[in-house]
C-alpha cells in the first residue's frame, strides 16, 4: 500500500496536504476493462482521509500517475504514427519533466486553503474567489449544452464564493489541478517532421495493462498448475505476490531442467 499526496502539493505553502492510500493492483483489475475512474475506485483504500466522491479529476490523474510509476517507473516510452510519412516512431520522456511542463507558469496568486479548496486574492478590481477543482460528477452535471455552456456550468459548480466568471479562474485551476492530458511536441525519427501527439497518462496506463494480459494469463496458468490454486484466488492476489510465486516456480523448473543434464 502506498500513501499518495494529492496534486495541490505543486503549489507549495499548503496548510494541510491531503493523502490517499492506494493498494496494489491485482489480476482481476489487470484483466478487466476498467475506466480510469473505476480503476481508481478499486485501488483506493477507504480510510476516510479523502472521500472518493470528493476526488477531483486532477486527483484521479495524480493517483493513476502513482499506479503507473509503481508498475513501470518514471519514464514513458510510446509509439506514434507520423502524420507526414506514416511510419511509426518511438517517443520517450520523463514523467517528472512532463508534469512540470503542465503546471501553468503564470501564477495568478492562487493558494490552497487546505480542505481541498483554493483562494484567489482580491486584486486589480477583481474580488476574492474561493473554488474547488472539478470532479467527474461535476463534469457529468455540467455536460448539457455546447462546450462554452458546459465550461460555464462547470465553473459555477466549482466556485464556492465570488465570481464564477473571474478571468483568472481557468489559469488558477490549471495551476493547482493540472490534468495529465496533453499535446506533446514530437519529431519523427524517420522524416524529421514536427508534430503534436495527444497523450493522456490514464489511457496510456490502461493500454499498457491491456498489452500485458497474455503474460498475466500465463502466470495464472503457471500458478494454477503448480500450486493448484483456483483462478479467482490467483486473480485476487496482489500483482507482486503473484509474480514472486511465478518466479519461484520458474526457478524450480529451471533447476529441474538442469538436473536432467
**Closest approach of Cβ 189 to Zn ion, in Å?**
8
Rank residues 92 and 259 by Cβ distance to Zn ion and give the closer one.
92
Q: Which of residues 185-204 bind Zn ion (CB under 5 A)?
A: 188, 190-191, 193
| Interface stretch with Zn ion, choices 6-14, 153-161, 182-190, 196-204 (CB under 5 A) | 182-190
Contact of 150 with 142, CB cutoff 8 Å: yes
Residues in contact with Zn ion, shown as a per-residue x/- string from 67 to 106 under the rule CB under 5 A: ---------------x-xx---------------------
Which is nearer to Zn ion, 67 or 188 (by Cβ)? 188
Closest distance of CB 84 from Zn ion, Å: 5
**Binding residue count for Zn ion, defined by CB under 5 A:** 7
Grid coordinates given for 221: 496458468
Axis crossing angle, helix 57-72 with helix 36-43, rounded to the nearest 10: 70
Residue 82 or 237 with smaller CB distance to Zn ion: 82
Segment 109-168, which members bind Zn ion (CB under 5 A)? none
CB-nearer residue toward Zn ion: 94 or 194 = 194
Instruction: For the CB of residue 192, give the shortest distance to Zn ion in the complex, in Å.
Output: 7
Q: Which is nearer to Zn ion, 3 or 194 (CB)?
A: 194
Q: CA of 210: how far to CAs of 34, 80, 205, 206, in Å?
A: 10, 18, 9, 6
**Which residue ranges make up the site for Zn ion (CB under 5 A)?**
82, 84-85, 188, 190-191, 193
Amino acid at each position: 500500500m502506498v500513501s499518495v499526496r494529492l496534486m495541490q502539493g505543486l503549489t507549495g505553502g499548503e496548510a494541510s496536504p491531503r493523502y490517499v492510500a492506494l493498494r496494489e493492483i491485482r489480476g482481476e483489475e489487470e484483466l478487466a476493462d476498467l475506466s480510469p475512474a473505476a480503476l481508481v475506485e478499486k485501488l483506493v483504500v477507504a480510510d476516510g482521509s479523502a472521500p472518493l466522491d470528493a476526488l477531483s479529476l486532477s486527483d484521479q490523474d495524480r493517483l493513476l500517475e502513482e499506479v503507473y510509476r509503481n508498475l513501470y517507473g518514471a519514464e514513458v516510452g510510446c509509439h506514434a504514427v507520423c502524420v507526414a510519412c506514416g511510419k511509426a516512431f518511438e517517443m520517450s520522456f520523463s514523467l517528472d519533466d512532463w508534469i512540470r511542463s503542465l503546471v501553468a507558469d503564470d501564477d495568478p496568486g492562487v493558494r490552497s486553503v487546505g480542505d481541498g479548496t483554493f483562494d484567489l486574492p482580491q486584486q486589480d478590481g477583481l474580488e476574492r474567489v474561493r473554488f474547488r477543482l472539478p470532479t467527474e460528477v461535476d463534469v457529468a452535471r455540467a455536460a448539457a449544452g455546447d462546450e462554452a455552456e458546459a465550461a460555464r456550468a462547470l465553473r459555477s459548480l466549482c466556485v464556492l464564493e465570488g465570481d464564477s466568471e473571474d478571468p483568472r479562474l481557468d489559469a488558477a485551476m490549471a495551476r493547482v489541478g493540472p490534468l495529465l492530458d496533453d499535446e506533446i511536441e514530437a519529431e519523427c525519427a524517420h522524416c524529421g517532421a514536427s508534430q503534436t501527439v495527444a497523450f493522456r497518462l490514464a489511457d496510456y496506463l490502461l493500454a499498457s495493462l491491456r498489452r500485458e494480459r497474455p503474460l498475466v494469463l500465463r502466470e495464472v496458468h503457471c500458478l494454477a498448475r503448480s500450486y493448484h490454486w483456483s483462478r479467482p484466488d490467483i486473480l485476487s492476489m496482489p500483482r507482486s505476490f503473484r509474480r514472486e510465486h511465478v518466479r519461484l516456480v520458474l526457478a524450480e523448473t529451471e533447476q529441474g531442467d538442469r538436473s536432467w543434464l
